[in-house]
């Protein structure tokens, strides 16, 4: 239904426009190609629409400015790392103060206890520790789960994403677990470590967990990394009942679903996880993550935590829970991501959803737009039930065109899929600008 020739022409026009608009970013990207592998400091930075990444100059609140002086409405917000909005003065003050008074000592600072209490209040599990990234937090929790249960396998959902955690780079193909397409150098065949299950399929979960070799189920309460796939009515209750019945620990990764409210989906939907993982946004942009656990799990971990060899247990790191991260978490959680912040951001995501679905309806496209709290995402198919159905609708050419079209008109979307995230710093005018730009792109595509 999308004319591919027209799409290719439009994309190439947008590419030329992108190059013309960004001479300074182009020059810096050319320079970077010498000393930086692939010309970027981190592999995914090649994923932005356009033949080179923009170099950013400043990012404050909901705005980002590039080195060519062009300002963007930032709907990416660092793929949720800046869900609070960028460059918050109170976080800047806290980290500046901490930077002047010592960052890395291998000793606790005064902020960690406050942060743990606040996370316990929000996510309703009592015992916490910290990590540098959500990837690390997930890795640590998987280790705890295998240790506690004495079982070797972990379970995840098909097309999940939980960071660069080896065990999670697995998908289903004809019912078999295979490495996720694109994953590099798997440590071992992930079929040896991982059970992969379709989301929203109660029977498949029950059947696999009944085999008795799975330590934990690591899940997002709604998939967010292959578009948003919401749980069906009663599904999460069934997941809890099944995991309990089979002695499988339930790890809820709220790193993205924190967008649902101050305590993520765990609080919003009354979930009862054994572990909670949360990362990215809790540091207001500074690397930080946390993992929490129920009293029962914490009690069971008390003995190994006291062992002299805890430093080689495979959990933690030298700079983990450094005082800078902890100061950032405290400054962030005491002033951001509170109910009053979501009360501003969520209606903006609702407005975005209405605007985009209006355009989709007007053009009679079989697409949909989904929302979870202050996060919204459109997808090129009707609402999928699981990750595989969502993955089947990925259209990289269409995505790249839409992202480039938006970027060339001052709107930054996340490089992966079609996510838009709202902070209290966005405005209704920002949302309406996106709707207008999106509508014009679809007009151009379907004219
Ligand atoms: C649900 C989820 N968990 C964990 C991570 C990993 O976060 P990080 O890349 O900061 O380690 C991500 C990253 O996108 C994520 O989406």
Helices (H) and strands (E) in the chain, counts: 14, 16
The pLDDT score that the predictor gives to residue 1 is 76
130, 160, 228, 256, best to mutate for ligand 1 pocket (most atoms within 8 Å of CB):
256
**Distance, CA of 276 to chain centre:** 15
Residues whose beta carbon lies within 6 Å of some atom of ligand 1 = 79, 133-135, 138, 161-163, 220, 225, 253, 255-256, 279-280
Q: For the stretch 213-230, what's the b/e string if a residue is b when 16 or more beta carbons lie within 10 angstroms of its beta carbon?
A: ebbbbbbbbbbbbbbbbb
The pLDDT score that the predictor gives to residue 303 is 95
DSSP per residue over 185-210, as a string?
S-SS-GGGTEEEE-TT-HHHHHHHHT
Hey, whose CA ends up nearest to atom 5 of ligand 1?
163
Q: Which residues pair with 130 in a beta bridge?
A: 290
**How many angstroms separate the CA atoms of 266 and 272, rounded?**
7
Mean pLDDT of 233-253: 98
Query: Using one digit for the tens of pLDDT, what is the confidence trace for 384-397?
Result: 999 999 999 999 99
Contact 257, 221 (CB under 8 A): yes
Cα 163 to averaged position of ligand 1 atoms, centre (Å): 4
Share of the chain above pLDDT 90, in %: 98
**How many angstroms separate the CA atoms of 107 and 104, rounded?**
8
This model's pTM is above 0.95: yes
Mean pLDDT of 202-214: 98
Mean pLDDT of 365-392: 96
Cα 308 to averaged position of ligand 1 atoms, centre (Å): 31
Chain length of the chain: 447
Contact 277, 291 (CB under 8 A): yes
**How many angstroms separate the CA atoms of 326 and 130, rounded?**
8
In 3D, which of 231, 343, 342 has the Cα closest to residue 281?
342
Q: For the stretch 423-444, what's the b/e string if a residue is b when 16 or more beta carbons lie within 10 angstroms of its beta carbon?
A: bbbbeeebbebbbebbbebbeb
Report the relative pairing of strands 289-293 and 127-131 from DSSP bridges: antiparallel
**How many angstroms separate the CA atoms of 172 and 36, rounded?**
35
Cα 64 to averaged position of ligand 1 atoms, centre (Å): 22
Q: For the stretch 315-346, what's the b/e string if a residue is b when 16 or more beta carbons lie within 10 angstroms of its beta carbon?
A: bbeeebbbbbbbbbbbbbbebbbeeebbeebb
Cα 347 to averaged position of ligand 1 atoms, centre (Å): 25
HSE at residue 274, side-chain half, CA atoms within 13 A, is 27
Query: Using one digit for the tens of pLDDT, what is the confidence trace for 13-69?
Result: 999 999 999 999 999 999 999 999 999 999 999 999 899 999 999 999 999 999 999
The pLDDT score that the predictor gives to residue 416 is 86
Cα 16 to averaged position of ligand 1 atoms, centre (Å): 33
Contact 161, 391 (CB under 8 A): no
How is residue 388 annotated by DSSP?
H
φ/ψ of 3, rounded to 5, equals -75, 110
Hey, whose CA ends up nearest to atom 2 of ligand 1?
162
DSSP per residue over 243-281, as a string?
HHHTTPEEEEE-TTGGGGSTTHHHHHTT---SEEEE-GG
Hey, whose CA ends up nearest to atom 7 of ligand 1?
134
Mean pLDDT of 322-336: 98
Say whether pLDDT at 168 is over 80.
yes
The pLDDT score that the predictor gives to residue 286 is 97
Contacts of 96 (CB under 8 A, 6+ apart): none
In 3D, which of 389, 385, 374 has the Cα closest to residue 419?
374
pLDDT band for position 429 (50/70/90)? very high
Query: Using one digit for the tens of pLDDT, what is the confidence trace for 259-303?
Result: 999 999 999 999 999 999 999 999 999 999 999 999 999 999 999
**How many angstroms separate the CA atoms of 253 and 123, rounded?**
11
44, 47, 163, 273, best to mutate for ligand 1 pocket (most atoms within 8 Å of CB):
163
Closest atom, ligand 1, to C-alpha of 136 = 11
Hey, whose CA ends up nearest to atom 3 of ligand 1?
162
HSE at residue 445, side-chain half, CA atoms within 13 A, is 25
Say whether pLDDT at 79 is over 90.
yes
Cα 363 to averaged position of ligand 1 atoms, centre (Å): 34
**What element of type H or E holds 278?**
strand 275-278
Say whether pLDDT at 434 is over 90.
yes
Mean pLDDT over all residues of the chain? 97
In 3D, which of 102, 354, 85, 385 has the Cα closest to residue 226?
385
DSSP per residue over 148-191, as a string?
HH---EEEEETT---SS-GGG-EEEETTEEEEPTT--S-SS-GG
Cα 251 to averaged position of ligand 1 atoms, centre (Å): 14
**Cβ–Cβ contacts within 10 Å for residue 4, how many?**
9
In 3D, which of 357, 376, 397, 425 has the Cα closest to residue 74?
425
Cα 135 to averaged position of ligand 1 atoms, centre (Å): 6
**How many angstroms separate the CA atoms of 402 and 400, rounded?**
6
Hey, whose CA ends up nearest to atom 6 of ligand 1?
163
């Amino acid at each position: 239904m999308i004319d591919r020739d027209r799409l290719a022409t439009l994309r190439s026009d947008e590419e030329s426009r992108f190059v013309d608009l960004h001479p300074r970013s182009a020059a810096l990207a050319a320079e970077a190609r010498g000393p930086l592998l692939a010309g970027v400091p981190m592999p995914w930075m090649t994923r932005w629409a356009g033949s080179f990444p923009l170099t950013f100059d400043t990012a404050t609140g909901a705005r980002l400015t590039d080195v060519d002086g062009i300002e963007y409405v930032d709907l990416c917000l660092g793929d949720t790392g800046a869900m609070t909005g960028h460059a918050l003065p109170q976080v800047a003050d806290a980290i500046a103060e901490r930077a002047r008074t010592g960052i890395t000592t291998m000793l606790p600072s005064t902020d960690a206890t406050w942060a743990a209490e606040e996370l316990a209040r929000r996510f309703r599990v009592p015992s916490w520790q910290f990590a540098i990234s959500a990837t690390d937090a997930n890795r640590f929790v998987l280790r705890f789960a295998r240790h506690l249960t004495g079982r070797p396998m972990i379970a995840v959902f098909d097309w999940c994403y939980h960071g660069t955690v080896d065990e999670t780079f697995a998908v289903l193909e004809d019912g078999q677990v295979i490495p996720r397409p694109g994953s590099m150098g798997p440590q071992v065949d992930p079929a040896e470590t991982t059970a992969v299950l379709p989301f929203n399929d109660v029977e498949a979960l029950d059947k696999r967990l009944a085999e008795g070799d799975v330590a934990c189920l690591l899940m997002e309460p709604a998939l967010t990394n292959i578009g948003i796939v919401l749980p069906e009515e009663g599904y999460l209750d069934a997941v809890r009942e099944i995991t309990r019945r089979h002695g499988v620990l339930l790890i809820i990764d709220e790193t993205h679903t924190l967008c649902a409210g101050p305590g993520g989906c765990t609080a919003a939907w009354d979930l009862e996880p054994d572990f909670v993982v949360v990362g990215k946004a809790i540091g207001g942009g500074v690397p930080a993550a946390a993992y929490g656990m129920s009293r029962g799990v914490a009690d069971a971990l008390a003995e190994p935590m006291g062992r002299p060899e805890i430093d080689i247990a495979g959990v933690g790191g030298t700079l983990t829970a450094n005082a800078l991260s902890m100061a950032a978490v405290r400054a962030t959680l005491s002033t951001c991501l509170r109910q009053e912040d979501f009360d501003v951001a969520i209606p903006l995501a609702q407005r975005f959803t209405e605007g985009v679905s209006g355009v989709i309806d007007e053009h009679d496209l079989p697409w949909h737009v989904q929302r979870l709290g202050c996060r919204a995402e459109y997808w090129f198919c009707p609402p999928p039930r699981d990750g595989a159905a969502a993955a089947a609708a990925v259209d990289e050419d269409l995505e790249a065109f839409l992202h480039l079209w938006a970027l060339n008109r001052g709107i930054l979307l996340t490089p992966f899929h079609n996510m838009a995230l709202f902070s209290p710093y966005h405005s209704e005018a920002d949302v309406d600008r996106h709707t207008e730009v999106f509508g014009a792109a679809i007009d151009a595509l379907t004219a």
